[in-house]
Structure 1
Amino acid sequence: MLDFIYYPVSAVLWLWHTLFASILGATAGLAWVLAIVLLVMTLRALLFRPFMAQLKFSRALAEMQPKVQEIKRKHAGDREKQALAIQELQKESGVNVLTGFLPLIGQSLVFVGLYHVLRSFQPGHSRNYVFDAAQVQSFLDAKLFGAPLSATLTHAGSSFLTVAAVAIPLMIVAAVATHFTARAAIARQTAPSDGPAASQARLMNVLSQWVFPAAALLFGPFMPVAILLYFVTQNAWTFAQQHLVARASLAGR
């Protein structure tokens, strides 16, 4: 059903693993670790332009707020006229609401694709999309500091302590990175001061700063080590990207 996502994601992972396996050896767990990290970096690099478009959208939206508030005062009590006037304002300002969601949609599709591909590495499988049987077994044998990349805390069995020693730090790093990424983004945003939009902004701030990081800890035990590695890389990239773009923006003023 979602093969249009699974095949490209597995192909990029295959390319990076093939490269690192040629250097480190086909059975090297580090080759898989680096392949996952570089997969995230590759896909995030491809999403950089949509990210910049989202940033531009956010700024345009913030600049529109005074006019939006004026429209709401002018058409108080008439939601239909408010909606039409705001749509017209967005059109005049060149604001496309879809632009604000493109990076999120892209990242969500990548996560779904990677999660499915990594979960599809199963014993006895002759293929996993572009991976052959030998590569499937190679992934199943791959370890990070002794913990299998395919292992989860909930199904670690006798290897629980070994898996926990790797998975728990990854979960904590992912949660902390998510929190500080959200915190940095909130510090730079221009949120509406009152009205329903302000309430929604406050709710999203709470969710992004506290609920989402907590979710990383709550659902982390059910995630394979490879997925936790993805989350850490993803959040580290997001944090660094936001910081560098913000610095470049300030320098350009």
Structure 2
Amino acid sequence: MLDFIYYPVSGILWAWHKVFGFVLGDGSFGGAASWALSIVFLVFTLRVILFKPFVAQVKSMRKMAEFQPEIKKLQKKYANDKQKLAAEMQKLQSEHGVNPLAGCLPILLQAPVFIGLNHVLRSFNRTGLSYEQNIKIPNYWLPTEDVQSFLQARLFGAPLSSYIAMADNELSQFVPHVGRLDVILVSIPLMIVASIATHLTARHNVARQTAAVTANPQTAMMNKLTLYLFPLGVLAFGAFLQIGLLFYWLSNNAWTLGQQYFVYHRIDREEAEAKAKKVEQRNNLAPKPGQKPMQQVRKPAKPTETADAAETGADTAAETSVEETKSNGSGSPANGSAVNGSGDASTKVPGLAPTQARKKQSRKRR
């Protein structure tokens, strides 16, 4: 039913086993080490493929942290209308270029690989079949000689497909014989290290979250689950996980921890460089110390405006001259012209007539 998952998983496992088997050989320890490394590099192969989606997930989370206050406003505004809240949330995410499914993609793609590897490891030692029968059945992409190599491989005395809670009759099917103590001595240290790696990965992820994100009750609850419940779950259910799956869990969390450190620091560096570039551009536009700010240059007046200004100035000068003449009364006028006894000007004031002519010409032009 899930052959589209089982065949690729077994194919990648077979390819890496050929590589490490050529380097380490097929001895008692070399054979087990090559199979264990094959499982580890199966994880690394998947995580390399999912590297870009992981970067997109981190950037999406950081963008969502930026507009978290807007999300809270929407949640408060549409607290009683879930349908409207969902529509507004989708609209807000699309405005900020955030795709919530991008954050789930790495996890969604890792789950089928975990399921597929669990099935492939169990298919090496099928329940109800003897050792002689199992080594004659290919395991999807893996031929019968690789099935026999896997069943005979021992990592410090324990097969990779064995687990602590395995039934006695299933343990007895391994050749050579396997004791439960051998499985416990290998499984317990792997369970502890895998649990610690799970906790450190969750702690590093939570430490990168902003105060606005951690203030959300749902986020705070999820952080507690990933920090404490998941690591304890590895210890509690590790007894039912095959040794090969414990290697998968350990290597997956170790890769995630290193990848988070690398990606987060790279994004921090890119953001710091972008901020420094903006500051540098702003400093380049600002006046240097001791330099006077640039004064605004006035635009030259239009010819008609210049002519009107000149006419207005001439009229003002003429009116001022007439007022001065009237104010002299019986005395001598300021411009030296004679006046009649009533005090009115008996002669034309120089420059008055041309000014009135210019005013008439200006009215005609208008």
TM range (shorter): over 0.9
Q: Deviations over 1:11-67 (max 9, x none)?
A: 111100011222323452111111111111111111111111111111121122111
Match of 1:135 among 123, 146, 149: 146
Q: Deviations over 1:102-159 (max 9, x none)?
A: 0000111111111111111124231110111111111111121222111111127561
The answer to whether structure 1 residue 220 and structure 2 residue 214 are counterparts is: no
Q: What letter is aligned with 1:134?
A: E
The answer to whether structure 1 residue 247 and structure 2 residue 265 are counterparts is: yes
- In the alignment, which residue of structure 2 is the partner of 1:16? 16
Report percent identity of matched pairs.
48
Larger radius of gyration: 2
TM-score by length of 1: 0.93
Q: Higher relative contact order by CA 8 Å / sep ≥ 6: 1 or 2?
A: 1
TM-score by length of 2: 0.65
Instruction: Tell whether the 8 Å contact from 2:238 to 2:246 is kept in structure 1 after alignment.
Output: yes
Q: What letter is aligned with 2:14?
A: W
Instruction: Tell whether the 8 Å contact from 2:214 to 2:220 is kept in structure 1 after alignment.
Output: no
Relative to 1, partners in 2 of residues 1:69 and 1:38: Cα closer, same or farther, differing over 3 Å? same
- In the alignment, which residue of structure 1 is the partner of 2:124? 121
- In the alignment, which residue of structure 2 is the partner of 1:185? 205
The answer to whether structure 1 residue 200 and structure 2 residue 218 are counterparts is: yes
Instruction: Tell whether the 8 Å contact from 2:12 to 2:42 is kept in structure 1 after alignment.
Output: yes
Query: May I ask how many residue pairs the two structures share in their alignment?
Result: 250
Instruction: Tell whether the 8 Å contact from 1:156 to 1:163 is kept in structure 2 after alignment.
Output: no
- In the alignment, which residue of structure 1 is the partner of 2:25? 25
- In the alignment, which residue of structure 1 is the partner of 2:251? 233
Note the 1:27-106 alignment, pairs <5 A. 28-106=31-109
- In the alignment, which residue of structure 2 is the partner of 1:111? 114
The root-mean-square deviation of aligned C-alpha atoms, in Å, is 1.7
Rounded to whole Å, the distance in 1 between the matches of 2:42 and 2:167 is 26
SS across alignment from 1:130:
coil
- In the alignment, which residue of structure 2 is the partner of 1:150? 161
SS across alignment from 1:247:
helix
Q: Name the structure where helix makes up a greater proportion of residues.
A: 1
Rounded to whole Å, the distance in 2 between the matches of 1:40 and 1:138 is 21
SS across alignment from 2:206:
helix
For structure 2, which runs of at least 5 residues remain unmatched after alignment?
A: 126-130, 169-177, 273-366
Q: Deviations over 1:185-236 (max 9, x none)?
A: 0010125365xxx121111011101111111011111111111111111111
Q: What letter is aligned with 1:229?
A: F
